[in-house]
Amino acid sequence: MALTSPFMIRAGSRANTPLDSTMKEIRVWLDRERIEPAMFKTVVRSGGLGFEISFKSEHDAARFQRQFPQLIGID
Q: pLDDT (tens digit, 0 to 9) for every residue of the chain, 75 residues total?
A: 344 457 888 887 767 778 888 889 999 999 999 999 999 888 887 767 788 899 999 999 999 999 988 887 655
Rounded to whole angstroms, the Cα distance separating 47 from 57 reads 28
Rounded to whole angstroms, the Cα distance separating 72 from 65 reads 7
Check if CATH label 3.30.70 holds for domain 7-71.
yes
**What pLDDT is recorded for position 73?**
66
